[in-house]
């Protein structure tokens, strides 16, 4: 049973991490979510988000992912660590209850699963190139001006909440909604919730964030 849960967790993670880094956007709602009101000055928010992102050279953060599947009696919880370094270096690593890693080092993408490493040339693969661009734009705060998506902005005293709607049919087939929760103190993403058409969802909470701390380039080389 544990092996089945672990495999379902890994399959769900593989699917949702690609959705997260490729589609990152969502659905417009007629009313503000509970606890939030609509942002009146969206231009100020976008400008502030972009200006703050330009100050960020590195990011490290722990994360806890919770996956709800209607066919499972319990939610699947996994944990890991995320790293980003300008320019175009990312590391998304799951440590518990399984080991799985996706890393980007400029024009190369690495996937490590069960000790096996696969290496891809991003520029020679349209899908991986799109994934990489979406990952970097999301981390650097450049996604808000992407014309492929519509957006709605909400806020409360402590957070902004972005709900983004994909305009492309392919994205709509995979995602019903993605919610991005952004801390007002430093404009960092503290939570992402991805809701699928069947209402299964993945929620990722980021903690212990460190910004502009040295990260060795070796972190983005997978062997």
Query: Where are the extended beta strands (E) located within 129-171?
Result: 149-155, 159-166
pLDDT beyond 80 at 214: yes
pLDDT value of residue 29: 35
Host H or E run for residue 178? strand 177-183
**Quick check: 175 pLDDT over 70?**
yes
Q: 36-69: per-residue pLDDT in tens? A: 999 999 999 988 888 888 888 999 999 999 999 9
Highest-confidence segment of 16-20, 26-30, 77-81, 147-151: 77-81
- Rounded to 5 degrees, what angle do the CA atoms 183, 19, 141 make? 35
Write out pLDDT tens, residues 122-159: 887 766 666 666 666 666 556 666 676 778 899 999 99
* pLDDT in the model for residue 30: 40
Backbone φ and ψ for 134, nearest 5 degrees, come out as -65, -40
Please state, rounded to an integer, the average pLDDT across all residues of the chain. 81
Identify the CA nearest to 179 among candidates 192, 188, 160.
192
Instruction: Output the pLDDT for position 27.
Output: 32
The Cα 223–Cα 2 span in angstroms is 28
Is residue 36 a contact partner of residue 156, using CB atoms and an 8 Å limit? yes
Name which of 108-122, 186-200, 209-223 the model is least confident about.
186-200
Q: Which two tokens stand for residue 54?
A: 């330009």
Domains of the chain, with CATH numbers? 2-220 (2.50.20.10)
Phi, psi of 148 (to 5 degrees): -80, -5
Reported as a single tens digit per residue, the pLDDT across 71-92 is 888 999 999 999 999 888 999 9
């Amino acid at each position: 049973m544990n092996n089945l849960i672990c495999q379902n967790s890994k399959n769900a993670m593989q699917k949702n991490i690609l959705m997260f880094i490729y589609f990152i956007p969502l659905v417009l709602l007629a009313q503000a979510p509970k606890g939030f009101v609509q942002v009146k000055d969206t231009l100020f928010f976008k400008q502030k988000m972009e200006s703050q992102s330009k100050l960020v050279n590195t990011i490290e953060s722990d994360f806890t992912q919770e996956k709800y599947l209607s066919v499972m009696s319990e939610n699947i919880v996994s944990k890991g660590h995320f790293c980003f370094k300008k320019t175009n270096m990312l590391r998304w690593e799951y440590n518990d209850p399984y080991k799985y890693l996706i890393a980007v080092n400029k024009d190369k993408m690495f996937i490590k699963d069960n000790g096996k490493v696969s290496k891809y040339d991003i520029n020679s693969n349209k899908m991986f190139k799109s994934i990489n661009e979406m990952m970097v734009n999301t981390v650097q705060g450049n996604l808000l001006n992407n014309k492929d998506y519509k957006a709605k902005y909400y806020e409360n005293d402590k957070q902004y909440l972005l709900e983004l709607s994909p305009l492309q049919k392919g994205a709509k087939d995979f995602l019903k909604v993605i919610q991005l929760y952004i801390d007002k103190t430093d404009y960092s993403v503290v939570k992402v919730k991805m809701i699928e058409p069947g209402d299964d969802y993945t929620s990722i909470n980021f903690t212990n964030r460190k910004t502009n701390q040295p990260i060795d380039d070796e972190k983005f080389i997978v062997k």
